[in-house]
């Protein structure tokens, strides 16, 4: 983009209009030659180049697209604990800037600040900080709210969550938080077999907060009962849940077989075998119920070394994060663009199915698909430009170029 051109346009029409032309994932599928126009943070046209009114074309600035480049909607990560040395559990305004800034360079345009199993006062603080951050103009990936991952878990499947702080599900904490910060909590992950869980799930349904299963020892039947109560999502499918056995299908079997439940997957090649991702994708992608997440912890974007997840020490070796004590996988060092690339190149998913798993499906879960999650006129200009190798070339959040 040249400065002169932009200045000239601003003089003529107030705000510049930007154009991207190339291979593009539109809501109806992959277009080999698509055109996208946006101004003042909003998409004003997405479709075939011939359909663009010449009045727009004549005053627009074209953004260069590399040969073989692909234009996709910005990624929405509903399960991410941190990055670039910081953890949402240590939330301060500076920490939130650092995490959202790092992930925005990796294609993430919106995310849920994801907490961990911790004492209530620690969770209080995370909610207060995220709420304060959201009340101002957010310069990087938009924090759409909080995902409470725990503390209502099974002590049998803590993963990297500190089992000392696991408690039984209770509505009273959630109701108190909802009153103090209306609409801030967007997802609650719990073990549906625990005492009090069904009551919490019913309450979450009433509040239109996603009730998700995770870190659970539930049987297939217990998950089915929870789905009847309103549970409709599963975090990091296959990880930290009862596995599929053909005579005892477990929580994983319920997630795979029940069309009422959407499913997250950590596509880093470490947490889940590509064949298991492929099975999940074949069952979930056509119903738009597959959700790509990172589950990234603080070491995402940094070198191997010693870190923490929540308050537990972690060693990262060759990009794999494990608890120092016991060696359980401790989140990932994944980013959305690496997960995107893995689904296309290693699992063999199409660009448009992968894009839906990374953008539109999580937007629908959050109830924000009317304003983001796909490239369509009227929506926010949340855009990722990729090169032929599916590396990041540019990211725009509400029309503003990140790092540009
Ligand atoms: Zn987890």
Please tell me the predicted confidence (pLDDT) of residue 13: 57
pLDDT digits (tens, 9 = 90+) for 176-235: 999 999 999 999 999 999 999 999 999 999 999 999 999 999 999 999 999 999 999 999
CATH 3.40.50.300 fits 75-366, yes or no: no
Residue closest to 96 by CA, chosen among 149, 137, 154: 137
Please tell me the predicted confidence (pLDDT) of residue 10: 43
Please tell me the predicted confidence (pLDDT) of residue 311: 86
**3-72+376-401 in CATH: which number?**
2.30.40.10
Catalytic option among 295, 304, 325, 346:
295
Please tell me the predicted confidence (pLDDT) of residue 403: 78
Please tell me the predicted confidence (pLDDT) of residue 14: 74
Please tell me the predicted confidence (pLDDT) of residue 121: 97
Please tell me the predicted confidence (pLDDT) of residue 7: 38
CB atoms within 10 A of CB 77: 30
Residue extents of the structural domains in the chain:
3-72+376-401, 75-366
C-alpha 104/C-alpha 145 separation (Å) is 16
The reply to whether 295 belongs to the active site is: yes
**Distance of CA 180 from the midpoint of ligand 1 (Å):** 26
Per-residue buried b or exposed e for 266-292, using 16+ beta carbons within 10 Å of the residue's own CB: bbbbebbebebbbebbebbbeeebbbb
**Distance of CA 247 from the midpoint of ligand 1 (Å):** 26
Q: What is the mean pLDDT of each run of 10 residues along the chain (404 residues)?
A: 40 79 97 97 97 91 96 98 96 98 98 97 98 97 97 93 93 98 98 98 98 98 98 98 98 98 97 98 96 96 93 93 93 97 98 98 98 98 98 97 82
Please tell me the predicted confidence (pLDDT) of residue 1: 39
**Distance of CA 38 from the midpoint of ligand 1 (Å):** 37
**Distance of CA 240 from the midpoint of ligand 1 (Å):** 7
């Amino acid at each position: 983009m040249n400065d002169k051109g932009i200045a000239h346009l601003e003089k003529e029409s107030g705000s510049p209009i930007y154009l991207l032309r190339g291979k593009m994932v539109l809501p109806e599928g992959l277009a080999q030659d698509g055109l996208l126009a946006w101004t003042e943070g909003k998409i004003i046209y997405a479709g075939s180049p011939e359909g663009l009114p010449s009045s727009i074309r004549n005053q627009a600035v074209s953004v260069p697209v590399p040969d073989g480049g692909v234009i996709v909607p910005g990624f929405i990560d509903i399960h991410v604990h941190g990055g670039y040395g910081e953890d949402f559990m240590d939330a301060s305004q500076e920490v939130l800037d650092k995490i959202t800034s790092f992930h925005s360079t990796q294609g993430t345009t919106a995310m849920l600040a994801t907490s961990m199993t911790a004492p209530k006062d620690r969770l209080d603080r995370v909610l207060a900080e995220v709420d304060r951050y959201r009340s101002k103009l957010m310069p990087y990936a938009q924090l759409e709210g909080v995902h409470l991952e725990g503390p209502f878990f099974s002590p049998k499947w803590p993963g990297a969550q500190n089992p000392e702080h696991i408690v039984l599900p209770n509505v009273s904490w959630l109701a108190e938080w909802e009153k103090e910060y209306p609409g801030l909590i967007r997802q609650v992950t719990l073990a549906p077999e625990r005492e009090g869980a069904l009551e919490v799930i019913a309450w979450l349904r009433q509040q239109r907060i996603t009730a998700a299963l995770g870190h659970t020892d539930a049987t297939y039947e217990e998950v089915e009962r929870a789905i009847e109560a309103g549970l409709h999502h599963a975090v990091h499918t296959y990880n930290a849940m009862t596995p599929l056995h053909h005579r005892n299908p477990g929580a994983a079997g319920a997630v795979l077989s029940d069309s009422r439940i959407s499913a997250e997957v950590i596509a880093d090649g470490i947490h889940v075998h590509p064949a298991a991702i492929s099975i999940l994708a074949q069952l979930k992608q056509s119903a738009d119920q597959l959700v790509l997440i990172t589950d990234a912890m603080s070491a995402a974007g940094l070198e191997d070394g010693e870190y923490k997840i929540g308050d537990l020490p972690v060693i990262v070796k060759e990009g794999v994060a494990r608890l120092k004590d016991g060696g359980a996988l401790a989140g990932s060092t994944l980013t959305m663009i690496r997960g995107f690339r893995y689904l296309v190149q290693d699992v063999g998913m199409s660009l448009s199915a992968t894009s839906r798993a990374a953008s539109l499906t999580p937007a629908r879960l959050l109830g924000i698909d009317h304003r983001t999650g796909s490239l369509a006129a009227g929506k926010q200009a949340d855009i990722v430009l990729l090169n032929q190798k599916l590396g990041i070339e540019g990211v725009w959040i509400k029309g503003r170029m990140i790092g540009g």
